[in-house]
Amino acid sequence: MRKNKEKNESRFIILTVAILFALCLVFISKPLYEKYISEHTVIPPQQEEPQEPQEPEAPVEKTYVDIFFIGHNSANEEVYRAVKREYDENTDGSKIEFALKSLVLGPTSREIAKGVYSEIPSGTRVIYIKTEPAKVIINLTADFEQGGADSLYKRVYQLIKTAKLNSDKPVYLYINGQMTEVLGGDGLMITQPLNENSLGG
């Protein structure tokens, strides 16, 4: 009986040792296995999805208006010269409005450097420009009338040529809110709407 008991105890001890040994093997071998796997596993490079080619944006077509100032030709004679100004209908209003306002403001420093000037007095201001279904009205301050007949003649033609090129509608000139028939102290007669014959020439 005692021998059987000792035999069973021996078996228990051997089994316990075997279990502990097996557990030690598991704990020791798992990190080694994971290290081996990480060192010998090749991860394929991630492929980027092909991007669809982007169509190039169409260039924005620029629009220009012509504004008439005065310059000199090769014979040093005075001539009316058109300069181009870039125009954006989203911010500049109508073409005729933009052109006439630009005309009254006069040439830029770059345009002056190219030899153009304006006979419109620098103090002239636009009171309003009104576009109606059948006509355009440009209302200017009385400063527009200052000066002699020769200068007045030239500035009116600057106005006529600029208006004609930028609007199909007849254009009428007002001074301080009144349609004018006589300009300046010299009494320059003018017929309306403005056209190449408004000053009789």
Lookup: tokens for 55? 């169509």
pTM across the whole model: 0.69
Distance CA(137)–CA(145), nearest Å, equals 17
Cβ-contact 163, 127 below 8 angstroms = no
pLDDT at site 176: 97
Look over the chain and give the mean of its residue pLDDT values, rounded to a whole number: 84
Q: In sequence order, what E strands does 24-125 have?
A: 63-72, 78-87
Mean predicted confidence (pLDDT) in 122-141: 95
pLDDT tens digits along 66-93: 999 999 999 999 999 999 999 998 888 8
Lookup: tokens for 15? 């089994």
Per-domain residue ranges of the chain = 63-189
pLDDT tens digits along 14-70: 666 566 655 555 555 555 556 655 666 566 666 666 677 777 776 667 899 999 999
pLDDT tens digits along 96-107: 999 999 999 999
